[in-house]
Amino acid sequence: MAKKMFTVNEANAILPQVRKELEKMQELGRQFEGAYMELQEMKERAKRSGSGSGRQSGQRSDEPDPFFTMECELEFMQMELRTMLESFNLMGVELKDLESGLIDFPAVIAGEEVLLCWRQGEEKVEHYHGLYDGFRGRKKLDE
């Protein structure tokens, strides 16, 4: 499949969808981080108590192990994030940094392949950079 190339107008047209998906990914990423930290704290408490498992004293053996439950939840969140990232890829959009909301749209300007560059918080796509220049090489698009 050929790489999708965007015009500035096309990139700006899908920006509302990109924003929405990016915000979902960021929220899921925050949830993942919180759950991961909680799991690590649970494991540390179990280690200190010498139990070696997430089971509480008095917990029935037919109840699920909390470690297993949390690890399953984390795995499901990872699958959701991968699916969302694949959705970006299918649109032809490149997620460069989830935390800062940095997105690139492949494009051609004056016969040269470039990346239209948008960062969360910007109203519209107004910058671009070369394929290997990165965010530091951003230039303002000529109107």
Residue 16 lies in a domain: yes
SS (H, E, C) the chain: CCCCCCCHHHHHHHHHHHHHHHHHHHHHHHHHHHHHHHHHHHHHHHHHHCCCCCCCCCCCCCCCCHHHHHHHHHHHHHHHHHHHHHHHHHHCCEEEECCCCEEEEEEEECCEEEEEEEECCCCCCCEEEECCCCHHHCEECCC
Residue 110 lies in a domain: yes
Residue 1 lies in a domain: no
Residue 2 lies in a domain: no
Compute the mean pLDDT over every residue in the chain, rounded to the nearest whole number. Answer: 88
**Which tokens in the block code for residue 99?**
């935390």
pLDDT at 56: 53
Q: Is the model's pLDDT at 63 over the cut of 80?
A: no
**Where in the sequence is the domain holding 72, given as residue range(s)?**
8-140
Residue 13 lies in a domain: yes
The larger pLDDT score, comparing residue 1 to residue 6, is at 6
Residue 81 lies in a domain: yes
pLDDT at 135: 83
Number of domains in the chain: 1
The pTM is what?
0.79
